């Protein structure tokens, strides 16, 4: 394909980049490149306040995800062939610390919501979503609580309005960037709490199921088993197998645990280079006000043993509104911090509560994961060494991920 020369009164280096981009993208992104040059100088204006102004992404071209398109069949599907995409060595939003990219990059967000029934999101959430394409991830993961339900005073219309707000501010921008979006259902999304033999928040679950199964809201995931979607399901991305279970309550039903074990034992899971599990409630408590029974999973040690048996590398959770990267036994634990309202203090230490977003860079050859976590109130990187070396949860001690025991 010929390489065209564009004259935009830019320096020679950018002329060359335009030329390469045209060859690769076939002139589809010139408008974005031209606009991007005008945004760079103002990218950091006013973003160090507690509620920063929302800044448009500084990366001028729309990232193309490495992840293949969704698979049509529900079970035992074979992923499409993944196409190679050239990536920047250390992509990041302009002005922020830029970590070196791994073989696979995942952006982790969690607990985005505000007050019950809210259809809008605070500025830090909008800012984080605007930043996401600049990190050029292969996948975005959410630890749950995408909306603010779990109130029987909300009508079905009000619940639907919350998901419309989620789509407007969160899902649509991620779809526009062509990024796969994996998520686990939180208690405020569609609680699995049972009362009188029925779901206590059945309207929440019905609306959530309707929203996520609407083709317009395609999550762009390569499903292995989506029979229980959106409550529990498995998918693959970049040689990593992901298991999502319904941890919207402290009790995961025995039938679902049998499904989880069968899924983890499958050839698809065991032939993957890495396995990651996701659920809203954590195995072990880390935050003040969330250390009571019902705010972490029942029989955590038994669940951890199940995940360890099938060599799950990391369990990612939300709900506690406090960031803490940990390990226990052979399992790594990422307690994703809150991005929306209500940051909480850890059970140990005196760290000021903050809102966070985590970038995971994965080296597949040695299964190494590197976290870069940003405080979305200050846009500075969280120094892991300032976090407590361990936390004594009511159901067991967990240790900071870099501390050897």
The answer to whether residue 137 is domain-embedded is yes
Q: Which domain holds residue 112?
A: 60-400
Residue 51 lies in a domain: no
Residue 24 and residue 131 share a domain? no
Pairwise CA distance, residues 292 & 114, whole Å: 22
pLDDT of 1 > 90? The answer is no
Q: How many domains does the chain have?
A: 2
Worst-scoring range by mean pLDDT, 54-68, 108-122, 130-144, 384-398?
54-68
Over residues 255-282, the pLDDT tens digits come to: 999 999 999 999 999 999 999 999 999 9
Q: Are residues 219 and 282 in the same domain?
A: yes
pLDDT at position 85 = 60
pTM for the full predicted model? 0.81
94 and 26 in a common domain = no
Residues 75 and 13 in one domain: no
Say how far apart CA 132 and CA 292 lie, in whole Å.
34
Tell me the β-bridge partners of 20: none
* Domain membership flag for residue 173: yes
Counting every residue written for the chain, the total comes to 405
Give the H/E segment covering residue 314: strand 314-317
Structure-block tokens of residue 393:
């949860």
User: Looking at the predicted structure, is the pLDDT value of residue 151 above 70?
Assistant: yes
Residues 128 and 15 reside in one and the same domain: no
Residue 23's SS3 state is: helix
**Distance (Å, rounded) from C-alpha 112 to C-alpha 148?**
9
The pLDDT, as a whole number, for residue 87 is 78
pLDDT in tens, 51-95: 433 333 333 333 333 333 333 333 444 444 444 567 789 999 999
| CA 372 to each of CA 94, 135, 322, 336, 383: distance values in angstroms, whole numbers, following the listed order | 16, 11, 15, 12, 9
Write down the pLDDT at residue 75.
40
In a domain, 252, yes or no: yes
* pLDDT above 50: residue 154: yes
Query: Domain for residue 48, yes or no?
Result: no
Among 75-79, 157-161, 298-302, 380-384, where is mean pLDDT lowest? 75-79
Residue 37 has pLDDT above 70, yes or no: no
**Strand 324-328 vs strand 314-317: parallel, antiparallel, or unpaired?**
unpaired
**Is residue 91 in a domain?**
yes
Return the structure tokens found at 217. 């809201």
For residues 10 and 108, membership in a common domain is answered with no
Burial group, residue 30, by CB count within 10 angstroms (0-12, 13-18, 19+): middle
Does some domain include residue 150? yes
What value does the mean pLDDT of the chain take?
Answer: 85
Question: Average of pLDDT values for 98-120?
Answer: 97
Are 13 and 101 part of one and the same domain? Answer: no
One domain for residues 267 and 188: yes
Report whether 321 contacts 312 (CB < 8 A). no
Q: What are phi and psi of 18, to 5 degrees?
A: -60, -40
26 and 117 fall within a common domain: no
Distance CA 181, CA 395 (A): 32
β-strand 314-317 against 274-278: which pairing, if any? parallel
One domain, residues 375 and 345: yes
Say how far apart CA 249 and CA 276 lie, in whole Å.
20
Q: 163 and 21 share a domain?
A: no
End-to-end CA distance of the chain: 57
| 78 and 23 both lie in a single domain | no
Does the residue 318 lie in any domain?
yes
More confident residue, 22 or 205: 205
Under DSSP, the state recorded for 81 is P
pLDDT at position 390: 98
Can you point out the beta strands (E) in 219-267? Answer: 222-225, 233-237, 240-244
For residue 315 the two structure tokens come to 């369990």
């Amino acid at each position: 394909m010929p390489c065209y020369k564009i004259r935009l009164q830019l320096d020679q280096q950018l002329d060359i980049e335009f030329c390469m981009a045209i060859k690769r993208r076939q002139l589809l992104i010139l408008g974005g490149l031209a606009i991007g040059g005008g945004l760079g100088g103002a990218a950091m204006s006013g973003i160090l306040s507690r509620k920063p102004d929302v800044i448009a992404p500084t990366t001028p071209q729309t990232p193309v995800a490495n992840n293949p398109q969704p698979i049509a069949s529900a079970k035992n599907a074979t992923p499409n062939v993944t196409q190679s995409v050239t990536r920047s060595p250390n992509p990041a939003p302009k002005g922020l610390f830029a970590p070196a990219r791994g073989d696979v990059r995942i952006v982790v967000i969690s607990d985005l919501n505000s007050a019950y029934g809210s259809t809008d999101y605070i500025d830090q959430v909008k800012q984080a979503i605007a930043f996401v394409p600049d990190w050029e991830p292969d996948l975005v993961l959410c630890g749950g609580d995408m909306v603010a339900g779990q109130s029987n005073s909300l009508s079905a219309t009000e619940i639907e309005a919350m998901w419309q707000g989620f789509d407007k501010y969160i899902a649509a921008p991620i779809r526009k960037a062509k990024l796969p979006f994996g998520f686990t259902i939180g208690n405020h999304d569609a609680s699995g709490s049972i009362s009188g033999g029925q779901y206590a928040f059945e309207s929440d679950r019905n609306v959530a199921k309707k929203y996520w199964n609407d083709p317009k809201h395609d999550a762009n995931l390569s499903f292995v088993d989506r029979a229980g979607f959106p409550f529990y399901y498995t998918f693959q991305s970049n040689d990593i197998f992901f298991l999502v279970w319904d941890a919207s309550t402290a009790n995961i039903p025995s039938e679902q645990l049998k499904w989880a074990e069968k899924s983890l034992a499958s050839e698809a899971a065991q032939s993957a280079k890495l396995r990651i599990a996701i659920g809203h409630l954590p195995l072990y408590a880390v935050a003040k006000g969330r250390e009571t029974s019902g705010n972490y999973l029942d029989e955590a040690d038994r669940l951890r043993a199940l995940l360890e048996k099938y060599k799950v590398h990391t369990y990612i959770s939300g709900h506690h509104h406090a960031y803490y990267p940990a390990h226990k036994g052979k399992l790594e634990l990422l307690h994703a911090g809150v991005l929306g309202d209500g940051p909480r203090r850890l059970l140990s230490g005196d760290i000021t509560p903050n809102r966070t977003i985590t970038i995971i860079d994965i080296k597949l050859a040695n299964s190494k994961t590197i976290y870069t976590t940003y405080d979305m109130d200050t846009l500075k990187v969280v120094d892991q060494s300032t976090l407590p070396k361990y936390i004594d949860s009511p159901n067991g001690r967990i240790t900071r991920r870099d501390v050897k025991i």
